[in-house]
Amino acid sequence: MRIVVNSGPLISLARIGQLDLLPRLFGEILVPEAVLREVTQDESKPGALLVKNAEWLELGRVSDQSAVARLSFWLDEGESEVLILAWELGATAVIDERRGRNIAAALGIPQTGTIGVLVAAKQAGMISAITPLLDQLVANGIRLSFRLYEEARRLAGEG
C-alpha cells in the first residue's frame, strides 16, 4: 500500500518511538516537500532527526501546484500537498487534522491518521497494546478526545 504522510503523524509517531511502524505496515511511504521541510527544518524539534534520517521515507513531488494553491485557502501548505499528492497517486493520506480529513473525504481520498496506524499495528500483531501508546501521545502533548481514545481502544480489542 502506498501512503502519503503529513507532519502530524510523523511527529506523533516519532515522539512515542513508533515511527518504524510506517515501513513495517505500508509498502511505499511518501512525504511531500512542504511536510519534509516543516518536520526537519529545526533539528531540535521532536522527531526531526528521526524523520530526516529515515531511509525508507521517499520524497514525493506534487504535479498540480494549482490544486495545492486552491486547497491552501483551507489548509496549510503541507496538508494541501499531502492531499493532492495522494489524489494524484491514488494513495492513502495519513493525516490527523479534522479539516484535512474532511476535505480528503470530500475528494474521495482514502485516509487514516496516527490512531489508525496504531490500531492497524495492534491488529497486525506488531505492538502488544495500544493503551500505553495512547497515554504516551497524551503525555507528549498530542490532543486526543476521550471519544477517539476510547474508540481506538475498542478497535484494538482493549476497551
Confidence grade of residue 45 (pLDDT, cut at 50, 70, 90): confident
Res 110: pLDDT: 98
pLDDT digits (tens, 9 = 90+) for 12-42: 999 999 999 999 999 999 999 999 999 999 9
In a domain, 74, yes or no: yes
pLDDT digits (tens, 9 = 90+) for 61-86: 999 999 999 999 999 999 999 999 99
Closest alpha carbon to 74 in 101, 94, 38, 110: 101
In a domain, 41, yes or no: yes
Query: Per the structure block, which three cell numbers stand in for 16?
Result: 512515542
CA–CA dist 107, 102 (Å, integer): 9
Q: What is the pTM of this model?
A: 0.94
In a domain, 22, yes or no: yes
CA–CA dist 141, 137 (Å, integer): 7
CA–CA dist 141, 11 (Å, integer): 11
Residue with cell 524539534: 45
Res 46: pLDDT: 80
In a domain, 132, yes or no: no
Which residues have CB under 8 Å from 32's CB, separation 6+? Answer: 4, 59, 60, 61, 62, 78, 81, 82, 85
Domain that holds residue 98: 2-115
Which CATH number fits the domain that encloses residue 28? Answer: 3.40.50.1010
Number of structural domains found in the chain: 1
CA–CA dist 127, 24 (Å, integer): 11
CA–CA dist 92, 85 (Å, integer): 10
In a domain, 156, yes or no: no
Query: Per the structure block, which three cell numbers stand in for 5?
Result: 504522510
